[in-house]
């Protein structure tokens, strides 16, 4: 998703730019505003989540350029493009000094603007770090794998990132229902059945949108439908979603198959979920042995202890010693908040933000998420390398 904000002192201009782009690509999220660059400096939240800022430069004054300079310095992750009726070398140079990445002509035929923005949007997406892919695996049924996977997706979106949960758990597509009451428009089985149709728009239509920045690809409704999913389908889905999300989370569940192994193969992090009791410990040992035989090194494994309480039959040090692996994350027991969250289909970070479970999930999300990219120093080089763009 590319979040675009178009600003112009003239609401009609802003509207015109917005309309030119709104329908051009389903991945554009376009907002318009008649705020000036100086207004944006004093209302920083206006730029929250914005990837691309289009500034109508038809009536740019010196103080607008100054304000633009402060904006681009403060919001390194926002790509700023100046639209101007006269994209002369002078204007380009001035814009460049303020940290503007590109200068394009406007007014111009709609298709020209759409084409220019598509190019810039591609650069933004290409420059984004590819999504981190992780998998939650259950050491034994009921360990809380689906609950944690789904709620970690929400925690990532609450931290301003785009997250996708792909439910492979073969538990009747329940991951989505843990965090939303929305009925999934389709499931992963539907996507795999029509894999030849897979493109961004088709995938979009199949996803359950839980909240801004958080989608779930619901699980197959029954084991028979789950058989539609093949490892090569999963690889195609991952290829497509990699550049669209910051975090892709598989809920593998308990069942190991060639499909779950395909998901584990592409996962940078594997998170077995265990509770502190002997049956889980046995399950965890079996799972870790299997990971070893599949060639997954301990550096990829992040053991998660769920439903932790101090008076449990087993302590953390004992668990670590027996399994020969460090615990990465501890999520406390909190039956009340967790049941309420599940029963209402509302993520726990929304329902009980201050709960230990919500805090544990936020910490886990922050530990896993790649650091936000800064745009680096590519600006000058690009403007100089692409003088045609500035003159176009």
CA distance 321 to 308: 17
Is 194 or 339 the residue whose CB approaches ligand ADP more closely?
339
Q: Count other Cβ atoms within 10 Å, centred on residue 243.
A: 15
- The full 3-state SS of 322-377, as one line of letters, equals HHCCCEEEEEECCHHHHHHHHHHCCCHHHHCCCCHHHHHHHHHHHHHCCCCCCCCC
* Cβ-contact 231, 261 below 8 angstroms: yes
Q: Does 342 bind ligand ADP (CB under 6 A)?
A: yes
Nearer to Mg ion, 171 or 306 (CB): 171
Gap between the Cα atoms of 238 and 166, Å rounded: 10
Compute the least distance from the CB of residue 81 to Mg ion, in Å. Answer: 44
Of the candidate residues 26, 63, 339, 344, the single one contacting ligand ADP (CB under 6 A): 339
Q: Does 142 bind ligand ADP (CB under 6 A)?
A: yes
Site for ligand ADP in 214-273 (CB under 6 A): 253
| Residue closer to ligand ADP, measured from CB, 57 or 272 | 272
By a kind-dependent CB cut-off of 5 to 8 A, residue 249 interacts, out of Mg ion, ligand ADP, none, with: none
Q: Are 337 and 355 in contact (CB under 8 A)?
A: yes
Is 84 near ligand ADP (CB under 6 A)?
A: no
Provide the token pair at 253: 């569940």
Does 345 contact ligand ADP by CB under 6 A?
A: no
Question: How many Cα atoms occupy the beta-carbon half-sphere of 174 within 13 Å?
Answer: 15
Q: Which stretch binds ligand ADP (CB under 6 A): 12-20, 137-145, 159-167, 293-301?
A: 137-145
Q: Which residues bind Mg ion (CB under 5 A)?
A: 145-146, 169, 171, 253
**Is the peptide bond preceding residue 107 cis, with omega within 30 degrees of 0?**
yes
How big is the site for ligand ADP, counted in residues (CB under 6 A)?
19
Which one of ligand ADP, Mg ion, none is in contact with 246 (Cβ closer than 5 to 8 A by kind)? none
CB of 91 to Mg ion, least distance (A): 57
Nearest to 68 by CA among 33, 45, 35: 35
Contact between 144 and ligand ADP (CB under 6 A)?
A: yes
Nearest distance from C-beta of residue 392 to ligand ADP, angstroms = 53
Burial class of residue 245 (count of CB atoms within 10 Å of its CB; 0-12, 13-18, 19+): buried
CB of 253 to Mg ion, least distance (A): 5
**CB nearer to Mg ion: pick between 148 and 301:** 148
The reply on whether position 203 binds ligand ADP by CB under 6 A is no
Select the binding partner of residue 331 from Mg ion, ligand ADP, none (C-beta < 5 to 8 A, by kind): ligand ADP
- State the minimum distance, in angstroms, from the CB of residue 366 to ligand ADP: 18
- Which residues contact residue 171 at a Cβ distance below 8 angstroms, ignoring those fewer than 6 apart? 146, 219, 253
Pick from 259, 177, 257, 248: nearest CA to 218: 177
Q: Where are the beta strands (DSSP E) in 150-292?
A: 163-167, 208-211, 214-217, 247-253, 269-274
Binding site for ligand ADP (CB under 6 A): 138, 141-147, 253, 306-307, 331, 333-335, 338-339, 342, 357
């Amino acid at each position: 998703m590319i979040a675009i904000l178009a600003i112009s002192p003239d609401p009609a201009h802003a509207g015109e730019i917005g309309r030119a782009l709104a329908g051009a690509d389903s991945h554009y999220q376009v907002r318009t505003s008649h705020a000036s660059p100086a207004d944006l400096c004093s209302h920083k939240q206006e730029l929250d989540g914005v990837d691309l800022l289009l500034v109508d430069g038809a009536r740019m004054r010196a103080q607008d350029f100054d304000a633009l300079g402060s904006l681009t310095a403060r919001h390194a992750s926002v790509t700023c493009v100046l639209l101007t009726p006269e994209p002369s070398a002078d204007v380009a140079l001035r814009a460049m000094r303020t940290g503007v990445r590109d200068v394009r002509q406007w007014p111009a035929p709609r298709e020209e603007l759409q084409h220019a923005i598509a190019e810039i949007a591609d650069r933004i997406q290409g420059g984004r770090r590819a999504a981190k892919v992780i998998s939650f695996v259950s050491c034994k049924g009921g360990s809380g794998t689906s609950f944690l996977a789904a709620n970690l997706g929400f925690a990532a979106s609450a931290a301003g990132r785009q997250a996708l949960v792909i439910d492979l758990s073969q538990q009747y597509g329940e991951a989505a229902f843990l965090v939303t009451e929305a009925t999934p428009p389709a499931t992963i089985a539907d996507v795999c059945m029509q894999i030849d149709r897979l493109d961004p728009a088709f995938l979009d239509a199949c996803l359950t949108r839980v909240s801004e920045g958080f989608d779930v690809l619901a699980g197959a409704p029954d084991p028979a439908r789950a058989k539609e999913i093949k490892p090569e389908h999963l690889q195609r889905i991952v290829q497509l979603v990699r550049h669209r999300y910051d975090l892709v989370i598989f809920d593998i569940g308990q069942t190991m198959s060639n499909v779950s192994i395909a998901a584990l193969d592409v996962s940078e992090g594997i998170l077995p979920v265990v509770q502190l009791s002997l049956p889980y410990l046995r399950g965890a040992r079996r799972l870790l042995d299997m990971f070893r035989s599949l060639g997954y090194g301990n550096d990829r494994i992040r053991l998660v202890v769920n439903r932790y309480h101090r008076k449990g039959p087993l302590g953390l040090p004992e668990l670590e010693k027996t399994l020969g692996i460090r615990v990465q994350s501890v999520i406390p027991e909190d039956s009340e908040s967790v049941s309420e969250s599940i029963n209402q289909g509302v993520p726990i970070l929304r329902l009980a933000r201050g709960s230990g479970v919500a805090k544990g999930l936020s910490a886990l999300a922050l530990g896993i998420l790649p650091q936000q990219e800064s745009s680096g120093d590519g600006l000058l080089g690009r403007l100089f390398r692409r003088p045609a763009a500035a003159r176009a």
